[in-house]
Amino acid sequence: MNPTKTAAWNNLTDHYDQIKGLSIADHFYRQPNRGDEYTLQSLGLHIDYSKHRLNQETIKLLVQLAEEMELSQAILAMFRGDRINRTENRSVLHTALRDLSSSSLMVAGEDLLPEIKRVRQQMEVFSEMVRDGSYLGHSGKPIRHIINLGIGGSDLGPAMVCQALTPYQHPHLTVDFVSNVDGSHLAQVLAGKSPDQTLFIVASKTFTTQETMTNALSAKQWLINHYNGDQKAVAAHFIALSTNQEAVCEFGIDPKNIFVFWDWVGGRYSLTSAIGLSIMLAIGKDNFKSLLSGFHQMDRHFLQTPLESNIPVLLALIGIWYNNFWGAQSHAILPYDQYLHRFPAYLQQTDMESNGKSVDQQGKVTSYQTGAVIWGEAGTNGQHAFYQLLHQGTKLIPADFIAFTKSHHQMGDHHQKLLSNFIAQTRALAFGRTVEKLSQLNIPKELVPYKVFDGNRPTTSIMAQQLNPDILGKLIALYEHKVFVQGHIWNIYSFDQWGVELGKELAGEILPELRGGLAGGEFDSSTNRLINYFREHQS
Ligand code: F6P
């Protein structure tokens, strides 16, 4: 259904006209207790959505929109395994991967949980052996270095989680991630590593992705060179995470070293599947279980909580409010935690690969805006880079500020300083600094216009006690479901990614040209020129 045809959308358009003149400061003036009234506390998360250009009527209308779009039915359909990924004719069941409380999950006459549990156990046995040093490389030495070769969903999630949970990592194992087909990435990670103590994880759902297969072949060569051409070394030093067992075997990986998952796990939603093996190796099976439990608690919250107090639903609806009624083009993710500095990059794929669509579920070009540009950086670093534009630029950029009350490192007053910046920024963005305030400060008159902060820049503050596996699981699931809600309301298919295919195909056509052969001529003049420039400047 086209969301713009709902009564709620119409009402929201009128409502926008009525309240667009009210600033965030005006809303606080009218409702001084907004800080209490617009805060949700659930699952150990403190979500403050008071610093927004909205009131209770806005929330009511947004919830009405969700109801008219039959969101609750859509949530149920996903959890029970309906084939909601219609363009690929697949279920979307990443929630089953972390379902720690159900005894069965019947989909098309098959219970999915036993197989999920079997693979998780396989992962646990394997990771315990690597972690306790009983898993040995080809020359009988324990593994010290783990290198995950994958890209997109087979890289960003595990890399982000391993980084975020650094304090929980095994002290004697290094875990690296190589994704780029740029040989510099692999070369940099291999430098200084001893092949006889290195384990490669080839992580690829399809096991056909150019970048991953190229890196895997080069890594294999590096290993075999070390063992003077002994191919048998591959069995001890390569494992695979994939849905494509046939291709894995063809690559030469021992079938007992394959950790499988299923086509109903989307790449960008796969970190709780076998794709998370690097995480389990890094933090151990118990911490991995806490991560899954965090995910599962947020899944249950999403499934069972009424829309108006459902955290992912609320954040999604507020995003729609800015995207479709205020014309915001982007959304910033600003974690005040250095360990979360990869979180914005991870969410870029989750959100932009899911909702970067302009054709609706009926095959028609949408007449309204869909997915926002997601970007961000850890605070306080971003404050000294792009916050100038957030505060005084011409763009409206709603932002999520994320912080934790306890640091993993008690170091002087670093953490109080970090958090004072976190809180101060959301205050400055919301309330700004007026000409009247400036006039009390003895500012030279000609500088006043430059020092005025209009404020009225919306933020959501998300806080929790500490960045641990459980809280991280909840945070990730929160954003996964936020993306689902938005995609559903925009009436698009969030679980395919056809838009990445064309570039792949064209790269396949251009590669032979770069490898040699006749000079170009079959492409457009710009492409030909670029190909020729490459050829002429290689040596
Ligand atoms: O970029 C497209 C994409 O298909 C992503 O959706 C996916 O996460 C990534 O490539 C990697 O795919 P695979 O795990 O099959 O190598």
- pLDDT tens digit sequence for 118-160: 999 999 999 999 999 999 999 999 999 999 999 999 999 999 9
Alpha helices in 366-489 (DSSP H): 387-392, 414-431, 435-439, 448-451, 469-489
pLDDT-derived band at 521, boundaries 50, 70, 90: low
With pLDDT > 90 as the criterion, what percentage of the chain qualifies? 93
CB 165 within 8 A of CB 263: no
Report d(CA 302, CA 485) in Å as an integer.
Answer: 10
CA of 290 to the centre of ligand 1 (A): 26
Report d(CA 305, CA 293) in Å as an integer.
Answer: 18
Query: Helix (H) and strand (E) counts for the chain?
Result: 23, 13
Look at the alpha carbons of 477, 480, 483, 484 in this order and tell me if their dihedral is positive or negative: negative
With pLDDT > 70 as the criterion, what percentage of the chain qualifies? 99
Q: Determine phi and psi for 356, rounding to 5 degrees.
A: -85, 65
Tokens of 299: 């899944």
Report d(CA 277, CA 288) in Å as an integer.
Answer: 9
The answer for residues whose C-beta is within 8 angstroms of residue 390's C-beta and 6 or more apart is 332, 397, 399, 429, 457
Report d(CA 520, CA 514) in Å as an integer.
Answer: 9
Q: pLDDT tens digits, residue range 156-195? A: 999 999 999 999 999 999 999 999 999 999 999 999 999 9
Residue 177's DSSP bridge partners are 148
**The residue type at 314:** L
Checking if the pLDDT of 258 tops 80, the result is yes
Q: Which atom of ligand 1 is nearest to the CA of 203?
A: 14
Tokens of 485: 């809600």
CA of 503 to the centre of ligand 1 (A): 13
CB 249 within 8 A of CB 75: no
Checking if the pLDDT of 297 tops 80, the result is yes
Probe target for ligand 1 pocket from 154, 261, 357, with the most ligand atoms within 8 Å of CB: 154
Q: What is the mean pLDDT of residues 212-224?
A: 98
Report d(CA 371, CA 375) in Å as an integer.
Answer: 12
Does ligand 1 come within 6 angstroms of the Cβ of 491?
A: no
Q: Which atom of ligand 1 is nearest to the CA of 212?
A: 16
pLDDT at residue 113, as a whole number: 97
Does ligand 1 come within 6 angstroms of the Cβ of 267?
A: yes
Report d(CA 195, CA 219) in Å as an integer.
Answer: 10
Tokens of 332: 């910033």
Report d(CA 451, CA 457) in Å as an integer.
Answer: 16
CA of 505 to the centre of ligand 1 (A): 14
Read off the DSSP letter of residue 238. Answer: E
Checking if the pLDDT of 205 tops 70, the result is yes
Q: pLDDT tens digits, residue range 469-481? A: 999 999 999 999 9
Q: pLDDT tens digits, residue range 415-445? A: 999 999 999 999 999 999 999 888 888 889 8
CA of 483 to the centre of ligand 1 (A): 18
pLDDT at residue 349, as a whole number: 98
Does ligand 1 come within 6 angstroms of the Cβ of 204?
A: yes
Does ligand 1 come within 6 angstroms of the Cβ of 153?
A: yes
Checking DSSP bridges between strand 238-242 and strand 258-260, what pairing results, if any?
parallel
Q: pLDDT tens digits, residue range 445-474? A: 899 999 999 999 999 999 999 999 999 999
Among candidates 45, 99, 107, which has minimal Cα distance to 82? 107
Report d(CA 534, CA 514) in Å as an integer.
Answer: 7
Tokens of 230: 């002994």
Probe target for ligand 1 pocket from 211, 496, 497, with the most ligand atoms within 8 Å of CB: 497
Q: What is the mean pLDDT of residues 251-278?
A: 96
Q: Which atom of ligand 1 is nearest to the CA of 153?
A: 8
CA-based radius of gyration for the chain: 25
pLDDT at residue 287, as a whole number: 98
Among candidates 269, 247, 272, which has minimal Cα distance to 258? 247
- Residues annotated catalytic, as ranges: 353, 384, 504
CA of 209 to the centre of ligand 1 (A): 7
Q: pLDDT tens digits, residue range 352-410? A: 999 999 999 999 999 999 999 999 999 999 999 999 999 999 999 999 999 999 999 99
Checking if the pLDDT of 77 tops 60, the result is yes
What residue owns the CA closest to ligand 1's atom 2?
500
Burial readout 69-93 (b: 16 or more C-beta within 10 A, e: otherwise): bebeebbebbbebbebbeeeebbbb
Q: Return left, alpha or beta for 152; rule: phi > 0 is left, psi -120 to 50 is alpha, else beta.
A: left
